[in-house]
Every structure is written in C-alpha cells, then in structure tokens.
Structure 1
Amino acid sequence: MSKCLPAGKYLIFCRILAAIVIGIFVASVPYNTVFAKKIKPKVILYVPHDNRPVSNKQTVQVLEKAGYIVKVPPDNLLGNRRSFGNPEGIYQWILVNGKDADAAVISSDSLLYGSLVASRKHDFMKDRVLQRTDYFIEIHKKYPKLPLYVFSSIMRTPKNAAASGSEEPSYYREYGEEIFRYTALTDKQRLQPLAAAEQAELTKLKEIIPQEVLDDWFNRRFKNFTANKVLIGLVRNNILSYLVLGCDDNAPYSQTHAESVVLGKYSADLPKSKFCIVSGVDELGLLLSTRAANEMRNYHPAVAINYASGYGGATVPAYSDKPIDLSVRAEINLAGGVPTTLPDRAAMLLLVNTNVSGWTYEAGESLNSEEPRANTLSFADNIAKYIDEKIPVAVGDIAYANGADNALLQVLRQRDLLFKLNSYAGWNTATNSTGWSIAQGILSLNMTSDNKNRLLLTRYLDDWVYQANVRSLVVRQLNIFPGQGTKLTLGDKNMPAEINADRLTKAFLDRYLSFLGIKAIKVEFPWDRLFEADIDVSTNPNAYTKHYFGIQ
C-alpha cells in the first residue's frame, strides 16, 4: 500500500512530470506551434491621396513588411494624373471595410476632392466640399472605436510652371511664376513694409495677371482653407484621433505659408498629441500610418538626430519654408516618436545628409557627381561608427532634391554599408526624404533583415539609380523616339522610354550593384511622365542575394 507524498514534494513531483511530458511533446512538433501565441495581425485601412507608386504601393509595402494587413481602395476609386478619383466611392468603401479594421489612415484630399491633384484643379462648389467633411462624422458614428488618422494638404504654391508639373490649372503654364511672386510679396507685406521696388513689382504683377485667373486660383484655395478649418473642428470634437496638415511645395514667403500661419493660430488650442502642421505632403501617409502602428503598441521610440558637418540642421531646403531640423523634429513627433540628441539612449538614429553650404541642389545637375564633397567622407564615417556601435541608422539624404547624392551612395557602396542601414530615402523634396526615412526606419525595428533590405533596395533603385541618374539620360534621349511626347506628357513615347529606362537601369546595376544578382528589370511610367517610375526586379539566388535577402 503506497503512502501519499507530502504536499510540498507532491507539487515538485507534478512539475517534474509535466516538464517531461512537455519535453516529449516539444520534440515531436515545431517550436512555434508550442510556444508562439498566434496574434492576429492588425488591420489598417489606408486611403492614399492618389495611386502613384510612392503614395500607394510603396507605402503599403513598408507597412506589410512590418507585419500589418493593409487594405486600400481599388485603383478605380483612387485619383491619378488625369482622373480625379471617386470621393463617394471611397466613402462607401470605408463604411464597408471599417468593421474589420484596427485603424484608418485617410487622405482628406481623396475623400473631399478625389485626389491631391484634384484638390488643385476641381470645380466643386464650396458647399459640396464641406458636405463631404461630414463623411468623417458618419464613419465615426458607425465605428466609434475605430481611430481615424487624417492627413490633409494646405494647397501648394509652385514657383513656376515647370515646378507645377502640369498639376495646376492650365493658366499656371502662362502665369505660374507671376502668381508665385504675387503671393510671396503679399505674404511678406503682411509681416513688414515692402521696399519701393517690391511695391512697384506687386503693382505690375496685378496688371499682368488677369483678374479671372487670380479669382479662380484664390477661390479654390479658400475652399481648401475652409475645409481644413472644419477638419480642425473635428479634432476638437474628438471625431478625428489625429490630423496633420502638410504644406506642399512651400517657400518662406508664399500663399501656402500665409495660410499655414492662420491655420496654426486657429488650432493653437489643440495638443501636439492630436494635431500638427508640417512641411511636405507625399510622405504623410507613411508617417501617419507609423503613428497608428505605434499607438496600437503603445510604443513611443526615441529617435536621435544628427547632421552632416556645415549648416546641418539650420539648412532651409528647397520647397520648404523652415530649417530642416524643425521639420525633422515635427516628423518624428508625427510618427509617434520622441526626438532626442542622445544616440546611445535612442531606438534609432536619423543621420541627415546636408551640404556644407546649406543649399539644396537638384539631383539631375552635373554637380551631383561621384566625387566626394567637403563633408561626404566624414558623414559616411559617422554612419559606419554608429553601425559598429549597433545603433540602428536611418539616412535622410537631402543634399539634392529629386534624387540621391551620387557621391554619398558610391562611398556607402564601396564600404559595404548600403544594406547595413535600417532605412534610407533621397527622393523628391527634403521633407519627403526625411519623413520617409524616419517612418520606414521606425517600422524596420520590428522587421526581419530580409524585409528591411528589400525595402532599402526599393529606395536605392528609385532614388539613386533612377531619379539621380537614369531619368536625366532618358530625358536627353527622348527626342530620338518617334511620335509626340515630352518628359511631362510622354504620349507616344511612353513605351520606348520605358524600354530605354530598362536598359539604362540594368546597365547601372551591372556596373555598380552586380553583387545583387539582378537578372531582369522592368521600369514603368504609370503617370505618363518621367518623374514617377514603378521599378520591379528579379534576382539570381547567388551568395550575395542569399546574404542580403535570405533567398534560398
């Protein structure tokens, strides 16, 4: 007859027996089956402001590689270069899909006008635009627990017709430069008396620009301005969880700047945790989605900031109205992070590549050569130093607008640092680049190396290979193709331009990035112009791609 074990020894015996049983079980099934608690991926509804690759496809790719399920309206509802998109269709799509979502990140330009371009060219009555702001109220009523993160634009003021990229009303081709200068002087006049020469110039501009042109341009802006005030009111009433207004293609004196000042005063009572105004627009979808992702996890990463030697953070880049350091700090806050100057206490370090002079040049200019400039090598040294210290590094490359810094990227290539970064961006405007690199960098902290490096490859292909190098070559060779077309409207030349871009891109990759084993490439111009490119590649499973991308 057995005796019962004392209570304490019996408990120990049971624990040992349980460990043996679990050990046998673990030996017979995959590790993840036993220990990994299956967590349902979070779902983000994402309404971009148009269907450009960077606005839509590339933003979605970053979020998906960070582990989120992203739902986007079908392409026929989104705006493109020629079609305004379908605000009512997008609204209905949100109502249908909101039931499964954990957060919604919505472009108000899409929901009010159809797209970002539509916001600049539409003929909707003001009452119709304001009626559509009620869509946000109805969405909130149906899904009161669904956080609504909204990004909107304060209409841009391009410096001239070329800067407008044919995305303004047709009269901007003739009067664009005069309109910009007119608003710059009127904005300045609000702050200080104009010099005699400036006053004379303003009087002359009033004579040159037809009154009907000014009326049309300012009336449309007033609709946008009024709609943004309504959106600010929705934040006050807790309809919107967060609102960001982006100043598109801005300048220190411009109508965009003037409106941002007034809206800033109107929203002064709102906390930074619910509202901000920043420079830039195209990066806002990814930044705000990053904020949504961070708030789902109650995560507020510290992001350190450092600059190349010279003007550094005091640089006022092209297409912006403020020093880049102010924009960078605002972007970090927008993404749900906390800016700091202490890399050793941060989750990530943002290194910003600026010119010693404080000027921002164009990537297509001959100045953008492979020859290192005054601070190129020291900036690369900093990148290597922090990587060696195991600090995740994101690079915002803003020495040039509309493309990467060739000298910097060549040095990073030579030192085998390209795929040791956590994120990189060097496209379009300075704030586009810094904002994108911040957001992708924060999200990369929870990615596999494979996913992180594939996203880096996307940026190198777009920002460095195509924008800084191939695009200018395609522009110069465009006239040899038959048919009608220009770099702004390719027309008959679209297909031959794509074939030429394929060839030139592949040649660049074979020369400088052959270790990636890229065997095929396809470049498309979805907006029928050379500025936006959609680039797809396939790779050979050689030793380098195995190392960088985990391809077996």
Structure 2
Amino acid sequence: MNRKIALLPVDGRPVTRELPKQIASIGNWEVLIPHKDLLGFLKEPGDMAALEKWMWKVAPEVDGFVLSIDMLGYGGLVPSRVCLDGKETIIQRIGILRALKEKYPDKALMAFSSTMRISNNYVNEEEKEYWCDYGVELWEYSYHFHRFEKTGHDDSNLRVRDLQNKIPSDILEDYLSTRLKNYQVNESLLEMVEDKTIDVLVFPQDDTSEYGLNIGEQEELSDKVAHRELFQNVFIYPGADEVANTLVAKMIYQLEQVDFPTFYPVYSGETGALSTAMYEDRPICESVKGQIHAFGGYTVDQAGEADIVFAVNVPGKRQGDLALQKFLGEVDTPHRNIGEWIKRIAHYLRQDKLVAVADTAYANGVDPRMLPRLLGEIEVSQLAGFGGWNTAGNTLGTVVAQAAMVHLQKKKPSLPQEEVKARILEEMTLRLLDDYVYQSIVRQQVRAGTDESAVSHEELLNRVKELFLKESVTFLTKYGLDFPLKEIYLPWKRTFEIGLGRRDES
C-alpha cells in the first residue's frame, strides 16, 4: 500500500480541507488534497477543470478516493445552491467517476453529495440573491408543504396557500427547479452505486429540521435505497462538513483490513440525549448512532464490550447556539449532571479504556460551563478525541474519526505510541483552540464589539488576531498545552470560521 488517499473536499475551509488530513495522520496515512486556490470562495465555484486534472495526476499514487460530488459537479457546497448549470452538464462532470473507476478498478472510491439545505433566515451570503427578501417565507413554504404532505394538517395547507401568494411566482419556481435539479443529480448517483463505480455513498442532510422539502427528498432517496437493496453502500444522516473525516477513516480501516471498533456512548444527561439538536431532525442519541454506523462501527450496551467509550456532553433540555445566542437558558439545567459524567470518564480512563469526548451542548462552540470542569479533572493527553464545532453532526463525526485512528494504532501499530499520542494531542489542542477559545470566547467578543458589515476585512482580522492571541496564550498556559501556530486567518473573510495554520503545513 502507498498509505495515501486522494480527497476532493467540499470547499477550501480548514475544517473540510485540512481536518481530514490531520485526522488521517494519527493513523499514519497521508491525505492528498488540492491547493486551496482551486476550491473556490463562498459562492465562487472551484476550478473544476483544474481539479479534474489534479485527480488524474494523483490517481496512480493513492490507494483510494474520497470525493465531494458538490465540488465535482457544481464547484463546491455553496455553489451547489446557486449554480445555474443544467442537470445534464452537472451529470456529465460527475461522469469522471466512471472513467476513474474503469482505469483503477481496484482502488476504493467513496463519494458524498449533500441534500440542498434550506436556511430559515434572510441572509443570502450562501444562498441565491433573493434570499434576503424571501428566505424565511421559502423556509416556511418548504416546512409546511412537507408537513401537510406527511400529516394532513389543515393549518399547514392554509399556510402554503398564503405563502404562494406572498412569494413571487418566478422566485418560487426558480427555487423549486433548483431543488429538483439537485435531487435528480443525487438520484443519478444511485446508478453508480449499483454498477459499482461508487463503493460507498453518503447523502448528508445539511442544516435540516423535522419537516422540509429536503427531508422529503431524503425520504424518497431512502425509499430508492431500500428498493434497490443498497443498505450497505448508501448512508443518509444529518451532517455535511464532517463527512470527509468519516469516509477517510472508513476507507483506512477497509484498506488496513482491521475490524471496526465498537462504541459505548455515555451521555451527561438522559433528557438531552433524547432531545433534537438544532439543524437536525432526530434525537442526539440517534445522530450518535448514525455517525458511528456511517463510519463502519456500532454501539454496544456495556463499557466492557466497547473498544471506545464515547462521552457525549448534551444540553440539559435543548441545544443552544452560541453564535446566534439562542436557547442559552435551556442548556445548563438540572436535566444533566456534568460532574457525574466527568467522574465516569475518569473511571473508564483508569480502566485503560479509550475515551473520546464529543460536545453537542451548543451549536457553534464548546460548552463554557463544561470544559473548565472537564480539564480540571482530566488531562487532554488522556483522551482519544475531542470536538465541539458547528452542528452536532460535525462534532460527532469528527470525534468518531479521531478515536478510530487512535484505536487503529492500538490494534495495528505503524507508529510508535509516543508519536500517536503526540499527533492526537496536537489535533485535540487545535480543536480546543478553534471550537472553544475562538468559537465560544473570541468570536463572541468580536461580534459584541464589532459590526462585521461596517469594517474592512483587514480591520476584522486584526481584531480577531488581537483577541485570539490573548485568549489562546492564557488557555494554553493554564492547561500546559502547546500548538505550533504559524498564522491566524479568516478563510471566508467573516467570523463564522477561523484558520489556524501550523508551522509544518504547506
């Protein structure tokens, strides 16, 4: 084996491009990725012709491919929502998968293609221009159309009729035709699974809720998967940005021919485990199983049976959003017990179990009430994974992949254990700096004192750097951690995400 995988990410952000590479390195695998300049910027699509050349260039030296259909067909995740190209053009671009498989039939090929999200706001930064005027109305139309279809509730039917009068017909028609095009492209991928062009296919549900046109599309895809009996090859669950981590880890296990690990979930609260996370359509405990199943593992009922103890911090009653400052009062409630949960983590560590921590209490940041307590009793170096970024699915999939790589090195060592520990510690320190120091602390400080829309990118970046350097030094010093920081940048010139470049990164 070459111990190399080619990844075509969904876009050029660090969490989608660099994170899978960092996680794979824990397992002593290299992930080849295109230069970020080829991957577009927000609505600007990636250079699809150059990316096709890149795939053919690296193909001879890799053991497999993990490919984003959104990047391959539309030029990225955001461009997939605004792309004006026709269905035939997009399917033609995707046709390279068959040519790739024909030339390299023995190389694994896994792909992922998002179900187009529908955001419930008037922000058109990642949507079509008319979203600033009709975004909420389009979301409501989607929600109530599907709700009426599923439940027959008259109030939803009346709301749909009302919205049809409020939304200009040309805008509604454009939105629905864009959705239909994306659905038909996704539907065509099932044929590639049937003819064994694609070995594993994931349809992640990007930013979803209980009802919506996107959920209806997922239900139709699920029916087609069931009819064609593609259960072992096609996975549908909430997520998006973390899918490359999941598939890279899955491919490494298959290539290494190692049994997939088992997981024992430990929740900080029963009510929170049964609650539905924001931007998802199912209880957190079901999202945990979905992420583990997509990777290739499964959960067990006893810690003694498990290869990995999966410690999940959940909200007391309902997940909050630190970025939007929503539902904050429903997170830290008596419906959970963080102290007892941490004691259980310490107990399993004393039993020499691999323990990984996934924080889903909030969207867009780590729980500030949980983390100081955790690090007050547990050293980061004792853990096999940590994450708490963006949606619950993003966090869960990332931590599953991290812990899986540590387990791989335990079962089939290809690195000295001290090197494995160093690599996972650096990866977790990066997540702590990004998910906690930046998202939970610095981003809130920046947003409280700066109007993003009124300042230049340079001013915004300088403010972020000033606050981040101050907070990160304090954090790293307090917990005796180190991180080889080279640069701080805003990948998409906004505060939503941060880039932390390492000194050893090219």
Give your verdict on TM over 0.5. Answer: yes
* Aligned positions of 1:235-250 closer than 5 A: 235-250=193-208
Residue aligned with 2:153, SS: coil
Are positions 1:405 and 2:367 aligned together? yes
Is 87-96 or 229-238 further displaced after alignment? 87-96
**Once the two structures are superposed, what CA deviation does each residue of 1:219-246 show, in whole Å capped at 9, x if it has no partner?**
1111110111111110011111110100
**1:91 Cα deviation from its structure 2 partner:** 1.9
What amino acid maps onto 1:528 in structure 2? K
Paired with 2:476 and 2:198, the residues of 1 have a C-alpha distance of: 49
1:209 aligned residue:
167
Identity of aligned residues (%): 26
1:431 aligned residue:
393
Paired with 1:444 and 1:174, the residues of 2 have a C-alpha distance of: 48
Paired with 1:326 and 1:310, the residues of 2 have a C-alpha distance of: 13
Pick from 423, 444, 453 the counterpart of residue 486 of structure 1. 453
What amino acid maps onto 1:535 in structure 2? L
Residue 84 of structure 1 contacts residue 118 of structure 1 at CA under 8 Å; is this kept in 2?
Answer: yes
2:414 aligned residue:
none
**Once the two structures are superposed, what CA deviation does each residue of 1:126-158 show, in whole Å capped at 9, x if it has no partner?**
210121221111111111111110011000011
Paired with 1:308 and 1:65, the residues of 2 have a C-alpha distance of: 27
Distance 1:511 1:97, change over 3 A: closer
Are positions 1:285 and 2:254 aligned together? no
2:491 aligned residue:
526
Paired with 2:109 and 2:394, the residues of 1 have a C-alpha distance of: 23
**Once the two structures are superposed, what CA deviation does each residue of 1:70-113 show, in whole Å capped at 9, x if it has no partner?**
21122232122242002222222212221111010000111101
Residue aligned with 1:267, SS: helix
**1:438 Cα deviation from its structure 2 partner:** 0.6
Pick from 416, 426, 433 the counterpart of residue 461 of structure 1. 433
1:260 aligned residue:
218
Distance 1:322 1:490, change over 3 A: farther
**1:320 Cα deviation from its structure 2 partner:** 0.3
Pick from 170, 173, 178 the counterpart of residue 129 of structure 2. 170
Residue 315 of structure 2 contacts residue 332 of structure 2 at CA under 8 Å; is this kept in 1?
Answer: no
What amino acid maps onto 1:341 in structure 2? D
What amino acid maps onto 1:486 in structure 2? S
Pick from 433, 438, 452 the counterpart of residue 424 of structure 2. 452
Distance 1:438 1:520, change over 3 A: closer
1:70 aligned residue:
31
Are positions 1:297 and 2:262 aligned together? no
Distance 1:379 1:368, change over 3 A: farther
* Aligned positions of 1:62-461 closer than 5 A: 62-162=23-123, 166-196=125-155, 198-268=156-226, 269-299=228-258, 300-357=260-317, 359-364=318-323, 365=325, 367=328, 374-445=336-407, 446=409, 448-461=420-433
Residue 133 of structure 1 contacts residue 227 of structure 1 at CA under 8 Å; is this kept in 2?
Answer: no
TM-score by length of 1: 0.84
TM-score by length of 2: 0.91
**1:356 Cα deviation from its structure 2 partner:** 2.6
**1:206 Cα deviation from its structure 2 partner:** 1.1
Paired with 2:482 and 2:189, the residues of 1 have a C-alpha distance of: 49
**1:218 Cα deviation from its structure 2 partner:** 1.4
What amino acid maps onto 2:488 in structure 1? V
Residue 310 of structure 2 contacts residue 358 of structure 2 at CA under 8 Å; is this kept in 1?
Answer: yes
* Aligned positions of 1:1-20 closer than 5 A: none
Residue aligned with 1:306, SS: strand
Residue 490 of structure 1 contacts residue 528 of structure 1 at CA under 8 Å; is this kept in 2?
Answer: no
Distance 1:517 1:155, change over 3 A: closer
Paired with 2:51 and 2:74, the residues of 1 have a C-alpha distance of: 11
What amino acid maps onto 1:529 in structure 2? R
Cα RMSD, aligned residues only: 2.4
What amino acid maps onto 1:265 in structure 2? D
**1:501 Cα deviation from its structure 2 partner:** 3.4
Unaligned runs of 5+ in 2: 410-416
Paired with 1:520 and 1:97, the residues of 2 have a C-alpha distance of: 29
What amino acid maps onto 1:160 in structure 2? N
Paired with 2:483 and 2:131, the residues of 1 have a C-alpha distance of: 42
Is 83-92 or 248-257 further displaced after alignment? 83-92
Larger radius of gyration: 1
Residue aligned with 1:496, SS: helix
What amino acid maps onto 1:315 in structure 2? S
Paired with 1:153 and 1:520, the residues of 2 have a C-alpha distance of: 32
